[in-house]
Structure 1
Amino acid sequence: MNNVDKVMASAADAVADIPEGASLAVGGFGLCGIPTVLVGALLAQGADGLRVVSNNCGVDGQGLGILLAAGRIARVTGSYVGENKEFARQYLAGELEVELTPQGTLAERLRAGGAGIPAFYTPAGVGTQVADGGLPWRYGPDGSVSVASPPKETREFRGRTYLLEEAVTTDFSLVRAARGDRHGNLVFHRSAANFNPLAAMAGRITIAEVEKLVEPGTIDPDAVHLPGIYVDRVLGPVPADDKGIEKRTVRTREERH
């Protein structure tokens, strides 16, 4: 691979150097836009003690949920426990450290990290334990709080109180895109453009799996959602039919009419 062509030979090669205890920003929302191939390769690779930053931690048996079930995640910074029963069990049992943060704040912390902004002020969380501290990050075996969130610095602007949130940067980022070229320019499909661009920006080494791999110059520059300067490795093409459905709802024939 030369310094322009970022395509990796395999998923195993793409994640081979992720070490024990690494921090990871992972794109996706629920099961939408998650880098399933890279997560599966990381499971096979064996790194543990991982510190994950993602909106949620997958669901039982899918997405980041497979790393969680294998006991490979030590800490999660996210917004939503969701439908993942194992996530809730590990958290309440004191096996997992969890930093819950407002969803918009998490998005901006990732974006700020990628933009080189160390911290920012936001009104989200003012007047709650997010600002005052005391949110349980880790429980003890007896159910007591062994690690709690610290209080955050606050400041008034134009008569309104804001709290200081620190940006997030990670050792690696794992993201998924609908299309990408060999230089790492990415296009996301609709709602898959949720946390993926932001997670990609925050990683020191960003690995993108793409459903359709195209040659440089194929993607209209105006259509690029994330420029290749943020992407270090590209894996593709990956299967486009591996997307799970978090909650399946159906209607009866009478209801459809």
Structure 2
Amino acid sequence: MSEKINNSNMVQSIERAIDILDYLAQHPKGCGIGELSKNLALSKSTIHRIITTLKHKEYVIQNMENEKYQLGMKVLSLSSSIINNMDFIDIAKPYINDFANKVGEVIHLTIPDESFTNIIYVDKVTPENSGRAITMSSNIGKKAPIYCTASGKLLLSQHTDDKIRALLKDVSFVKYTENTINSIDVLIDEIHEIRKNQYSFDNVEYDNGVICMAVPIYDKANKIIAAISLSTVTLFNTKDDLLKHLDNFKNVAKNISKLMIHRPF
């Protein structure tokens, strides 16, 4: 149950600073004072005052060529601190590292963000000797939409249909590729299949040329707390090629889940 917030206890300047940081996180190419003012319904003088403070504290940087503001490296240090405290990353690491090298494909470890509208990549393992000069857009700490990623759809599948509709009621279904799911009804139909099969697919829905297969990691309460995804490019593999690894991939997730279930709290 979420804590009820008494607005009188909130510090307005801090709330506005967080709104600015959230907006900049969604616009990695940067934003000017005018755009921030318009979209956050704050005066330019208020935006300038807050962003000057954030810049001084290195949470925001300014591109001197176009004068736009972007998130600074200090934000990354905060996210890295959180990630470093997630012991399940250490638990999962040897298993996903071993599997990535066996199959020669990239493995991601992901969790949902607080709003359950995005996934966060908390680990990424690239095989040591794949012989491929292909990189993926995913990076540790990066977010991706929950509705068009294999891990995201799997994480959503633990919720009821009504809960999913409530979580995504304000989400715009952006078409990243021709295959991107573009409606809540289509998404829920697919999630019905995911619940039955206990795995999910991203069939070139977020990154062009990239397909992914995800399986769940559970905690003591049998709640899906994370997902691992096997990612590859269509230049080398098809969906059927990934499915050949499904049983072994599920076993990797089960082994990680067992350790999560028996870990001390």
By percentage of residues, which structure has more strand? 1
By percentage of residues, which structure has more helix? 2
For normalisation by structure 2, the TM-score amounts to 0.27
Compare relative contact order (CA 8 Å, sep 6+) and give the higher one, 1 or 2: 1
Structure possessing the higher radius of gyration over alpha carbons: 2
For normalisation by structure 1, the TM-score amounts to 0.27
